[in-house]
Amino acid sequence: MKVQTTIKPTIALAAAVLLVAVGLYMLFRPHRSVVAYCQVYHQENQKLEQAQGNTYSVEVFSHGSNNAKDFVSAFTALDRVAPSDIEPDVRSLKLVFQKINYDPSQTLTASLSGIGAETSVRNWTDSHCGK
């Protein structure tokens, strides 16, 4: 009795699926550029316009929200496309709001730690994307 194995076709199929997935990611991944950043910035600012309240705010955006997670989402989207000269500050603001979202009692200390990044991102965004 001879047993046939199907390992080779399975490996080949898995490799093909992996190659297609990597190719699609490379094709559609967000590209870091001023144009992409400004486009995402305006989209996120519009989303925040729909948010409720003003418990949390950041000078970069013209609207506040009662939910820190709204800013986590906005800065996560911006971090994906932020050019290298502003990306570290965008990431810092994302981390500030992640901390606030996780533990609201840290709002004051987290906010104070993000003042420099907030000023930098606001100035950069104003000069590259308009107000």
37 within 8 A of 78, measured Cβ to Cβ: yes
- Residues 119 and 127: their CA atoms lie apart, in Å, by 12
Q: Quick: pLDDT tens for 14-56.
A: 666 766 655 555 555 568 899 999 999 999 999 998 888 888 8
Check residue 18 and give its pLDDT. 66
Torsion-angle region of residue 113: left (phi > 0), alpha (psi -120 to 50) or beta? alpha
Q: Quick: pLDDT tens for 70-126.
A: 999 999 999 999 999 999 999 999 999 999 999 999 889 888 889 999 999 999 999
For residue 65, list its beta bridge partners.
Answer: 56
